[in-house]
Amino acid sequence: MKIPENFYERIVLPGFMYRVLRIAAVLMLFFSGFPHAATAAVPENSEISRIMKERQAVEQNLLSLKQQLKEYQSKLNLTTRRESQSFKALENIRNQILVLERIISQNQSYLEKLDGDIDRLRQKLEGNRQIYGRISDDFRRTAVSVYKYGGNREIEHLFGAGSVNNALVRAQYMGFFTRAIRHDVNELQQVAVKLENSRLELEQSYQQKAAMVREQERQLKTWAVSKKEKEVVLDRLKKNKQEYAAQLEAVQQKRRQLQSRIESLILAEQRAMEVERERQKKILEARRLEAKRLEAKRLEAQRALIKKEKLQGQVPDTAHKEIKKPEKVQVKTPEKPGAVVPGGDSPELERVSADFDTVAGSLPWPVRSGVVAQKFGSVEDKDLKIVTTNNGIDISVPENTQVRAVSGGKVVQIAFLPTFGNIVIIRHPKSYLTVYANLGQLNVVKDELIKSQQLLGVSGRMAEGGSVVHFEIWKGRIKQNPEKWLRR
């Protein structure tokens, strides 16, 4: 039905109809998009989802750190008086301090995220209050108008129309207003529910922040106590110089055994790669010589045929000029032997592994969460007054933590050390190797082709309490700083 262009000039609606029309239009505009609610919901939901994921990640890290701390504290509580003055006890306390420092840092991060969430919830609550107040005012005016002028006068409005067409138009708008008002009642109720939910969420966030502040204060006190405890143990150790020197040598010997064993495995693998390269080189050379021999044989047969045909007078003297010379077979000159051995990588290996030359700073960590207890390279131990060298990094984790491959590759070496558990070495393209030590139960076997993030095994238990995963990256025979490759 077409509405006349001069509809509002020709038909004078009663006061309540104008008011209802205005309010209904405002309400429909509001609920259909004020301010563009349908389109704004997606970014808001996306932002909330991002915030929740960040909070969950921090919460999971905190749970892992607290589990580590609990394991170290339990072990320390079980030590005898003599053991409490040993390097194992000192290492236990130092690991506790590292974990506590990470917990404090994570607590602070969590508090910052809670502050951001509280600000968001405040704005949401205030917005819902404004929406509720606006809808309540509009609905109240609509209800008053309907009460004063509506109901029994609807028939009068219909008969007051100048034509049948105008009467039908009025009837159509009256039905629309009735449905709109019924719809607005439901919307008002929904906004009231949202308002209450916003208030409850904000209250819950306040409670979480208060609990986290108390937790932060408690961890700071525990950290201060652990620092003092470390100084006491260190002082007792140094008083008995002979015992101190013996224990210090034992600690260093344990580290040297690990590094020596891994280096011997790396060297063995590099030699195997060199042997494989030489084998591939010989195969290539044999194929080149065979191709050259077959080509020479073909040319000899062709010359004999031409000579025979020439004697029979069937071929002109210039025919021998058409004989093609053998093409040179291109053979790559092998690179000079050095620290990096070219791999001869198989297509399968290249498909499952990342290109280490291009993925610096983006590889996943071998464990889900942990604390780097000892960094790569030569580091001065301020407590023991010695310089220690680490070919990789030591990551403190809870016992039985899952250890996963940072990239796909081939398991080429598996070994065992009584002091550092199982060792797994994985080969990657371009002579890269990754090393995982102090594993307990293993989930891979030698020569297995694995994918990125595949489970290798779980972390083993340490004598001083807790667990540590030792991780290294090598390119050929050159050790690398693993943290340069792992995600920051």
Tell me: do 226 and 359 sit in the same domain: no
Domain-embedded: residue 97? yes
Asked whether residue 61 falls in the same domain as residue 204, the answer is yes
Helix (H, G, I), strand (E, B) or coil at 394: strand
Boundary-marking domain end, from 224, 239, 254: 239
Q: Answer yes or no: is 389 within a domain.
A: yes
- At 190, give phi and psi (nearest 5°): -65, -40
Instruction: Give the end of a domain, one of 204, 222, 239.
Output: 239
Q: pLDDT tens digits, residue range 80-110? A: 666 666 778 888 888 889 899 888 988 888 8
356 lies in the same domain as 233: no
Domain count for the chain: 2
Q: How far apart are alpha carbons 412 and 265 in whole angstroms? A: 10
Does 430 fall in a domain? yes
pLDDT tens over the chain, length 488 residues: 444 444 333 433 444 444 444 444 444 444 444 344 434 444 556 766 777 777 788 888 888 888 888 888 888 777 766 666 677 888 888 888 989 988 898 888 888 888 888 888 888 778 877 877 777 776 666 666 655 555 445 545 544 555 555 555 555 555 555 555 566 666 666 777 777 777 787 888 888 888 888 888 888 888 998 888 888 888 887 777 777 777 777 777 888 888 888 988 888 888 887 787 788 888 888 888 889 889 888 888 888 888 887 777 755 555 444 555 555 545 444 444 334 444 456 788 888 999 999 999 999 999 988 899 999 998 887 777 778 889 999 999 999 999 999 999 999 999 998 888 899 999 999 889 999 999 998 999 999 999 999 999 999 988 888 899 999 999 988 999 999 999 87
Same domain, 86 and 208: yes
Q: Give me the residue label for tokens 């008083």.
A: 239
Q: Within this chain, do residues 76 and 214 fall inside the same structural domain, yes or no?
A: yes
In a shared domain, residues 366 and 235: no
Residue 206 lies in a domain: yes
Using alpha carbons only, give the angle 24, 27, 28 rounded to the nearest 5 degrees.
85
Calpha distance 171→178 (Å, rounded) = 11
Q: Which residues contact 339 (CB under 8 A, 6 or more apart)?
A: 476, 477, 478
What is the rounded CA–CA span in Å between residue 444 and residue 455?
8
Domain boundary, last residue among 192, 219, 239: 239
Determine which helix (DSSP H) or strand (DSSP E) holds 5, and give its type and residue range: none
Residue carrying the six token digits 């942990």: 370
Question: In this structure, how many other beta carbons lie within 10 angstroms of the beta carbon of residue 447?
Answer: 9
Q: Is residue 30 part of a domain?
A: yes
Same domain for 20 and 155: yes
Which CATH number characterizes residue 376's domain?
A: 2.70.70.10
Q: Do 356 and 210 fall into the same domain?
A: no
Evaluate whether residue 472 is within a structural domain: yes
The answer to whether residue 115 is domain-embedded is yes
User: Minimal CA–CA distance to 348: which of 449, 432, 270?
Assistant: 449
Q: What domain range includes position 137?
A: 7-239
d(CA 180, CA 174): 10
Same-domain status, 217 and 358: no
**Residue 252 — φ and ψ, nearest 5°?**
-65, -40
Within-domain flag for 374: yes
